[in-house]
Amino acid sequence: MDADSDVKAGGGSSFYNKQGMGVKECENMIRRSLRTPMVKFLREQMGKTGCNIGDNFIKAVDCENSIVVCSNRLTMQDEVNQVVIHELIHAYDDCRSANLDWANCAHHACSEIRAGHLSGDCHYKREFLRGFMKIRGHEQECIKRRVMKSLVNNPNCPEPAAKDAMEAVWDTCYNDTQPFDRAP
């Protein structure tokens, strides 16, 4: 794994809380998009660099109430286990909190803190493999680093707001170990 492998996974809630469209409608729009000048140009340029992409390169998927794991980013069972646990903690948070709003930086930060803490994302073994070799205090530093990495990808959470939100909810969310009795 690299210094913070970019494993993409998504659940049923979006940053925008939009209803969205059906898969078939989206597939039709993707097909139309493939005919636009800029998309055609980009596909041609990718082909010239040896990266030919077919019509099935872009997929429409209904992500409602689901977790999507990008297989090409993972190399071993432990990584898959870790991603599934991390994402299930997000799904648990989404399920137990009727008012969870992923566009709210504090809500998003809280779920990321919990997922980082409870999933083992920041176990010293994983941190060592990422190139972070601090013996003491590594877990909280790792969680904060990974929370920030996630939050800044939320269009509603620019870096200063993301950091403020993370710090504001840190103690409460770090100490919330539900559904476990204690942090695993």
Residue 179 lies in a domain: no
pLDDT at residue number 21: 84
What does the DSSP 8-state code read for residue 72?
A: G
Q: From the candidates 87, 112, 127, 139, which is the catalytic residue?
A: 87
pLDDT tens-digit series, residues 151-160: 999 999 999 9
What's the total number of domains in the chain? 2
Q: Choose the final residue of a domain: 23, 53, 68.
A: 68
78 and 63 inside one domain: no
Q: Is residue 62 part of a domain?
A: yes
Q: Say whether both 50 and 26 belong to one domain.
A: yes
Percentage with pLDDT > 90 across the chain: 41
Mean of the pLDDT values across residues 125-147? 80
- Tens of pLDDT, residues 76-115: 888 888 899 999 999 999 888 888 999 999 999 999 999 9
Instruction: Quote the domain boundaries for residue 21.
Output: 8-68
Same domain, 104 and 79: yes
Q: What is the pTM of this model?
A: 0.74
Query: Per-residue pLDDT for 64 more than 80?
Result: no
Q: Mean pLDDT across the chain, nearest whole number?
A: 84
25 is catalytic: no
183 in a structural domain: no
How buried is 135 (Cβ within 10 angstroms: 0-12 exposed, 13-18 middle, 19+ buried)? exposed
Q: Are residues 18 and 103 in the same domain?
A: no
Q: Are residues 80 and 127 in the same domain?
A: yes
Name 129's Cβ contacts closer than 8 Å, sequence gap at least 6.
1
